[in-house]
Amino acid sequence: MATDESLNPFVIAQKQLDEAAEKLGLDDGTRQFLRWPMREFIVTLPVRMDDGKFQIFRGYRVQYNNARGPTKGGLRWHPDETIDTVRALAAWMTWKTAVVDIPLGGSKGGVTCSPKGMSEGEKERLARAYIRQVGRILGLTKDVPAPDVYTNPQIMAWMMDEYETIVQENHPGVITGKPIPVGGSEGRGDATARGGVYIVREACKVKDISPSETTYAVQGFGNAGQFAATLHPGILGGGKLVAASDSSGGVYNSNGMDPKKLVEYKQSNGRVSDFPESEPISNDDLLELDVDILYPAALENAIRADNAPGIKAKIICELANGPTTPEADNILFENGIYCLPDFLANAGGVTVSYFEQVQNSYNFYWQLEEVHKMLDTKMTKAFHSVYEMYERHKMGMRSAAYMVAVARVAEACKLRGWV
């Protein structure tokens, strides 16, 4: 792998911003301002563990930019969490909320910890300790967290409860991704994949691909990947799942596999491999299949300079965050592969989180159909605004999405008189 592929994520985020700013011709003051978070908050959290001893955790909250509205971004609990990963993720949230044009800014938070080794009680005490420190900079009009890697709806519920206990008021909108009985939204569970499949439908239209006849492969048959597999035929009016993989390996059938049966198989066996009526396929071979649509839905850096030249899919829908390295991205562009970039393709999750905040604000909850309809409208409009930029400048969809997003944030900063 080239050295520039293993850079600090915040350096990559700044480089991506620099490129968009250059293409947009932004003035130097605006560029410098958008290169850095507006506010960073670092806390030290003492938590009593089950053995009675205290463990001290480092926690972060980075509010990158709130020119377009209160900031929003998930909370990661991960052993490798650093201020720079949080800064990068907060920058990407700023561009993600802007590209789907929801009236929010971007932020991110995290705690450096190993949640796999923690009991439920320890997790609850850590969640509450985080809110006792960070709660003062959160709120529906300030900054609203959500789940991310190794955090979940239960952790969101504890955090909301701690916040409400401190302020002695009902504030469900202080956090999203909550369980439905305590103010969560219908349709949040599959929103990321659903949003991605909606824009694949739009991409097929502009690329003259018949949606109902598409073949597709899913790399990473987890939460996002399973939903993409099952939603694809319904939203596109057909389509054939020819391959899927998880960390145990992959399965392939050129005649197609029933996505619902594959989900059931994965849920009962914990893996996709050995699914009946399929043959094994390696993760590397899956990526190079001649399919219409490839959904990378596993981890970052799945598509790199070494395997990008072999990719034959017509459209890549990046449900995972950062599945394509910058070098691979250039190769895909030169080879005419149409790549729907992560911060557009997986923005369905934050869009429904925003709907959750709205419902919490007026204390009235929508039916599932309403959520789907609004999500479709938002994603479809976002796709077409990026597509228009792509057509106008003959650039990759990732660069086009950056230009749309950065221009919107820069305009809001200017209108406020900040730069």
* Residue 289: CB minimum distance to ligand NAD, A: 13
As a dihedral over the C-alpha atoms of residue 364, residue 346, residue 213, residue 227, rounded to 10 degrees, the angle is -60
Q: Which of residues 220, 239, 341, 396 is near ligand NAD by CB under 6 A? A: 220
Tokens at residue 8, please?
């600090």
* Residue 395: CB minimum distance to ligand NAD, A: 24
Which among 200-208, 293-301, 368-376, 383-391 is the span making contact with ligand NAD, rule CB under 6 A? Answer: 293-301
> Which residue's Cβ lies closest to ligand NAD?
222
Q: Which of residues 10, 130, 163, 221 is near ligand NAD by CB under 6 A? A: 221
297 contacts ligand NAD (rule: CB under 6 A): yes
Q: Give the nearer residue to ligand NAD in terms of CB position, either 151 or 215.
A: 151
Tell me the β-bridge partners of 296: 219
Q: Give the nearer residue to ligand NAD in terms of CB position, either 321 or 330.
A: 321
299 contacts ligand NAD (rule: CB under 6 A): yes
126 contacts ligand NAD (rule: CB under 6 A): no
Q: Which of residues 71, 192, 385, 399 is near ligand NAD by CB under 6 A? A: 192
222 contacts ligand NAD (rule: CB under 6 A): yes
Q: Give the nearer residue to ligand NAD in terms of CB position, either 26 or 191.
A: 191
Element (H, E) at 95: helix 83-99
Cα separation values, 368 from 329, 346, 352, 357, 371, Å:
36, 19, 11, 15, 5
Amino acid identity, residue 304? R
349 contacts ligand NAD (rule: CB under 6 A): yes
* Residue 286: CB minimum distance to ligand NAD, A: 8
Tokens at residue 311, please?
């990719």
* Residue 393: CB minimum distance to ligand NAD, A: 27
Distance in Å from the first CA to the final CA of the chain: 39
Near ligand NAD in 59-118, by CB under 6 A: none
Long-range contacts of 28-31 (CB under 8 A, 24+ apart): 29/419, 30/410, 30/413, 30/414, 30/419
Q: Give the nearer residue to ligand NAD in terms of CB position, either 285 or 411.
A: 285
Q: Would you call 108 a catalytic residue per the annotation? A: yes
Q: Give the nearer residue to ligand NAD in terms of CB position, either 148 or 162.
A: 148
Near ligand NAD in 269-288, by CB under 6 A: 283
Q: How far apart are CA 203 and CA 292, in angstroms?
A: 11
Helix-, strand-, coil-residue percentages of the chain, each rounded to 5: 50, 20, 30
Q: Which of residues 247, 282, 335, 361 is near ligand NAD by CB under 6 A? A: 247
Element (H, E) at 409: helix 397-415
Q: Mutual orientation of helices 397-415 and 83-99 as an angle, nearest 10°?
A: 90
219 contacts ligand NAD (rule: CB under 6 A): yes
Instruction: Identify whether the C-beta of residue 167 lies closer than 8 Å to the C-beta of residue 133.
Output: no
245 contacts ligand NAD (rule: CB under 6 A): yes
Q: How far apart are CA 209 and CA 203, in angstroms?
A: 8
Instruction: Identify whether the C-beta of residue 46 lies closer than 8 Å to the C-beta of residue 56.
Output: yes
Q: Give the nearer residue to ligand NAD in terms of CB position, either 251 or 332.
A: 251
Q: How far apart are CA 29 and CA 27, in angstroms?
A: 6
Which among 28-36, 167-175, 213-221, 327-335 is the span making contact with ligand NAD, rule CB under 6 A? Answer: 213-221
Collapsing DSSP to helix, strand or coil, 318 comes out as coil
Q: How far apart are CA 352 and CA 389, in angstroms?
A: 25
Amino acid identity, residue 307? N
Which residue out of 15, 53, 72, 108 is catalytically annotated? 108
* Residue 341: CB minimum distance to ligand NAD, A: 12
The residues that touch ligand NAD, with contacts defined as CB under 6 A, are 192, 219-225, 245-247, 283, 297-299, 319-321, 346, 349
Active site residues: 108
